[in-house]
A and B are shown apart, each in its own frame.
Chain A
């Protein structure tokens, strides 16, 4: 089944980071690839949201909403630099 991209979770990321981040540059902790958050591969059909690097398939972000609180595991993200 197809994945979507970071645009699909713009609202969720706004909730988590408190600002618009789809234009922010992300750096994958597994392979170093840099790209706007909007271009990451997003798997929405799952117990949580899994965001992967299109270059290496590594998990960049995992977002799990438990009892209305969204937890983010951002260990796969080396950097998130908002657009200037």
Chain B
């Protein structure tokens, strides 16, 4: 590859602390909108978040019930597999530790699903220990539909395709099941610090 477009830099900013930028990533000041399909619009009256699968009693919360749970506001860096990273993003939501509190399960895996049919899979351990939230506000404002509102999964230690937009629940599973992008060749786990973008990386 020898062709270079004189003077082209793209949107990237070069002023970030390199220790915070995983390999192959570029920091952006925008918040790019990525989507595999149309933005779903479902009324909040019908919204619920469920935990189902390998547990004794499935649980679910309506929108009001979710809002009533203890919430946290966290500042995290997010990394998209398409190479942009956004630092110091501020989210408000309910920790998965709260939603999974008291759950006893043999399941090691989770499949998260969303309105519109999107799915993504993770090890259950990666949702626990202060690592994940069901987030409904960004920068103090209600999460916009194009960014996953009313609520999305937020799992910042993995590539951002794991932070499923429009999330509606998680299924606890004994066996791992690849989600939407994982099934098309993206990495099953997705650690940005090990640059696990694609299967086999």
Contact = CB atoms under 8 A, between A and B. Distances in A.
Interface of A: 1, 3, 41, 43, 45-48, 50, 52, 57, 59, 62, 64, 66-67, 71, 73
A47 B34 contact: yes
Given A64-B186, A71-B185, A1 B198 contact: no
Given A1-B39, A1-B146, A45 B34 contact: yes
B39 to A, nearest CB: 7
Contacts, number: 47
B36 A50 contact: yes
B181 interface: yes
Given A1-B146, A46-B36, A50-B37, 13 more contacts: A1-B39, A45-B33, A45-B34, A45-B35, A46-B82, A47-B82, A47-B161, A47-B186, A48-B184, A52-B38, A64-B184, A64-B185, A66-B198
Given A1-B146, A47-B81, A67 B198 contact: yes
B142 interface: no
Nearest to B39: A1
A43 B37 contact: yes
B35 A1 contact: yes
A47 B39 contact: no
Contact of B37 (A52, A64, A66, A71): A52
B158 to A, nearest CB: 13
A46 B160 CA distance: 11
Interface string B146-164: 1000000000000001000
Interface in B24-59: 32-39
Contacts of B80: 47
Interface in B139-192: 146, 161, 181, 184-186
B179 to A, nearest CB: 12
B33 A1 contact: yes
A66 B185 contact: yes
23 contacts: A1-B33, A41-B38, A43-B35, A43-B36, A45-B32, A45-B33, A45-B34, A46-B35, A46-B36, A47-B80, A47-B81, A47-B181, A48-B184, A50-B36, A50-B37, A52-B37, A57-B38, A59-B37, A62-B184, A64-B184, A66-B197, A71-B185, A73-B184
